[in-house]
Amino acid sequence: MALGNLTYKTPNPISSITADLTDSEGCGIYLSEVYEVSIADTTARLPYGIVIVGSNSADGTGSGVTGGGLEIVDAYGAVVQARAGAASVAVGDSLQVNGSGAFVAAAGSPNQYVWGFALTPAAAGEQFLMRFAPYKVFSAS
């Protein structure tokens, strides 16, 4: 799952990974206040980026990032390959994360985050292109 010149190492100081992200390519992640990376498992998590190359911690306990292992895209407006959740994704869908960080069509409920928009369609569990353009929904539309 490569993106050529859009793939880069994040400049933010990630202190640890709280779960194994090895097979999480295309899933959304958030960064905690103490710079720990985790899968975004609810729509209330502040979007941080999309996993391009997953990694686990150096010792398997979440206490350090394997040297150069984790690659994410966290640039707003970037086009990135993402993973569809349990339902298909259509072109133009607003996207939110499900409980495992994969993407589903957004419900647009207040105080939840939309991560971006689908640029290509995908069946459930498949990869698709999305524009990473997160925003918070403040009122029901």
List pLDDT tens digits, range 101-125: 999 999 878 889 999 999 999 999 9
Flag whether 86 is in a domain: yes
How many CB atoms neighbour CB 139 within 10 A?
8
At 107 the pLDDT is 84
- State how far the Cα of 93 lies from the Cα of 117, in Å rounded to an integer: 6
Flag whether 37 is in a domain: no
Give me the residues paired with residue 103 across strands: 84, 97
Flag whether 4 is in a domain: no
Flag whether 26 is in a domain: no
pTM for this predicted structure: 0.80
Let me know: does 21 contact 37? Beta carbons within 8 Å: yes
Q: Where in the sequence is the domain holding 127, given as residue range(s)?
A: 79-137
Long-range contacts of 110-116 (CB under 8 A, 24+ apart): 110/137, 110/138, 110/139, 110/140, 111/44, 111/136, 111/137, 111/138, 112/43, 112/44, 112/136, 112/137, 113/43, 113/44, 113/45, 113/46, 113/47, 113/137, 115/28, 115/47, 116/82
Flag whether 92 is in a domain: yes
Per the structure, the count of domains in the chain is 1
Flag whether 31 is in a domain: no
Q: What percent of the chain has pLDDT over 90?
A: 46
pLDDT one-digit tens code per residue, 54-96: 666 544 454 455 555 677 788 888 999 999 999 999 999 999 9
Flag whether 25 is in a domain: no
Flag whether 16 is in a domain: no
Residue 19 neighbours by CB under 8 Å, 6+ apart: 38, 39, 62
